[in-house]
Amino acid sequence: MATPTPPLEESEKLEVEEMATPVVPRSIEEELKEPLVVPKLASVRSISVIVAAVLAMMMNSSSIQALVIAIPSMQEELDINAASLQWLVTAYALTSGCFLLLFGRLADIFGRKYVFLAGTLWWISFTLACGFAKTGIGIIMLRALSGMGGAAVVPSAVGILAHTFPPSQARTVAFATFQAGAPTGGALGSIIGGLTTQYAPIGWRAIFFVSAGIGAAVFVLGLLAFPNHPGHYEDKRVDWLGAFCITSSLIFLVFCLGQGEVAPQGWKTPYIPALLILSGLLFAAFVAWEHYVETHLTLPPLVRLNIFKRGKGKLAAILLVAFLIMGAFTSWQYWATLYYQDYKKFAPIQTTVRFIPMQVVGITINVVFALIAAHVSGHLLIVLGCIGTAIACLLFAIIDTNATYWAYGFPAAVLDVFGADTTMGAGALFVAKVALLEEQSLAGGVFNTIITLGISFTTTVTTIVYDTSVRKQMAAEGLTLNADNSNAPLDVQLYGYRRAQWTCFGFAAGGLSLSFCNPLILDQDFAATVVAFVLLRGIGVIGVKAVQNAEVNAPDTAYLTIAAMHEEHIAEPLDPIQHPESDLTRKAEDEKTGRT
């Protein structure tokens, strides 16, 4: 039996010794028999763990947004076709999103710190290589490879935070800070992209060298601060068939979303519908296989299918809101950047300055969220977040191009990041509360996979709306759009930008009335607010107030989630007979039924 964890004060004194102690694998039931110890936020170790995790999230998101600023310069130097420009961003999202489930599962099985460090090294290597790329196809391939590193880093960091901080005010602060790293990192990426593109002697290539430097800092902090843990499973077998099916399905889906609009014949290009059908078949095969594994084999499934029923089904609603809001948030930034650079003809640094408020607000919202999450309804927080992002998109949909930046640009930047930070902070915290102890990294992978799909889907839809609007407006003016879509007059471009932002508004806050006004507007932005308002009612308070040290001791409750021990109104205890969630229960049933 594992040695009981010492009291909080003593454990702080022994931090250095604990980190140097050899790691001995322990079963889940052994871990749950120990009293929960909530580390002090002010301790060096707690601060180091949070900082390393937040920097990892910022590293991942900043590398994407930095390229958005540099796209015009990269296109000119590498002679990239206009139709392929989006792959500078989409290639990274393709792999970083599609491998999240696999790497999240591997982190839970083999150890989160090990997967985190390996993923960081992989990311650094291919990010550095991007700085030396000589062709457009070369840098797109390197970006895709570096995205696999991001897919290993993010879910591992989620699991490390959940394992380090049991349900408490400390966990609320840790997850709020971590999730704020995504939009804050995006704002930082805009600054890095603008400064390096305009002032660095090597131009946009400096983006990758600066990003690799951030990655090196993340690796060192992770190596020193993250606790050693051998993984939660004694059974180290991996469901490779399930991993292949879901990863391949997601890759084909995201590829088609990114390529459908720029393929030779658009969405009618033969390989687009073929790959979409193949993606659907692989997804169906994944669901069928996971069900078979859970009911007939002792092999641990890649994903327990009932994970989406957690929290009385509200986890599925949270994932849908994340899909819509992060799609709207990212698309707003994309189209706002093009508006500033292509329509207003601002230099990269001028565009960057206009996004600086996002970083300041992101940090502020993180602090406020951590203070109020344990006292304010999660339902209210998420609805307010959806409304904030929706208003940001609306402001750019009706923007007066002659007005001052403070009239439209500034409030939109503030509200966009306010909405994303608030919604994602609450969402990540809720996911951690309803996930089992042994699947925290996998749950983080599920959450971030949904976000990636939302971003890809929204970018595709808004691009379709923009392209369609520009073509129709050009035809109405008796003009013909050239092959690379580069001859559209400024007034036509503005028309397209506004339509794209209306669509973002549809994703984040609009309603059915907008569809009656313009058939191009797909009103799923309003859908986010509707989903949050209707489906998340009764979600309760997401944050957890201070928990006394060793308050919870669960010697015979291996089938319970940690969330259920603290917040029964959010994550109800799971009946081990009706919900065979844990390896412990599954193992007992296997012995009875003789499953192999």
User: Which residues have a Cβ under 8 Å from the Cβ of 145 and sit 6 or more positions away?
Assistant: 95, 122, 126
Of 244, 16, 230, residue with least CA distance to 115: 230
Q: 115, exposed or middle or buried, with CB in 10 Å at 0-12, 13-18, 19+?
A: buried
The CATH number of 44-238+302-473+521-535, from 3.40.720.10, 1.20.1250.20, 2.60.40.1180, 3.10.105.10, is 1.20.1250.20
Sign of the alpha-carbon torsion through 66, 68, 70, 76: positive
Asked whether the beta carbons of 70 and 197 are under 8 A apart, the reply is yes
10 Å Cβ neighbour count for 506? 32
| Beta partners for residue 377, in sequence order | 541
Asked whether the beta carbons of 190 and 349 are under 8 A apart, the reply is no
10 Å Cβ neighbour count for 16? 10
Asked whether the beta carbons of 551 and 36 are under 8 A apart, the reply is yes
| The pLDDT value given to residue 233 | 66
10 Å Cβ neighbour count for 17? 8
| The pLDDT value given to residue 397 | 94
CA 228 to chain centre: 25
10 Å Cβ neighbour count for 274? 12
User: What is d(CA 483, CA 293) in angstroms, rounded to the nearest whole number?
Assistant: 50
Asked whether the beta carbons of 382 and 426 are under 8 A apart, the reply is yes
| The pLDDT value given to residue 508 | 84
- Give one word for 518, left, alpha or beta, with left for phi > 0 and alpha for psi -120 to 50: beta
10-residue stretch averages of pLDDT, the chain, 596 residues long: 46 43 45 56 82 89 81 82 74 86 89 93 94 89 92 90 81 80 76 85 90 93 85 78 93 87 84 94 94 89 83 80 87 90 86 83 82 80 86 94 94 90 82 79 85 85 88 85 75 92 83 31 44 53 49 34 38 39 46 49
User: What is d(CA 318, CA 168) in angstroms, rounded to the nearest whole number?
Assistant: 21
> Which ranges of 226-239 would DSSP assign to H, the alpha helix?
none
Rounded to a whole number of angstroms, the distance between the first and last alpha carbons of the chain is 28
User: What is d(CA 125, CA 497) in angstroms, rounded to the nearest whole number?
Assistant: 36
| The pLDDT value given to residue 399 | 94
Asked whether the beta carbons of 107 and 438 are under 8 A apart, the reply is no
| The pLDDT value given to residue 209 | 93
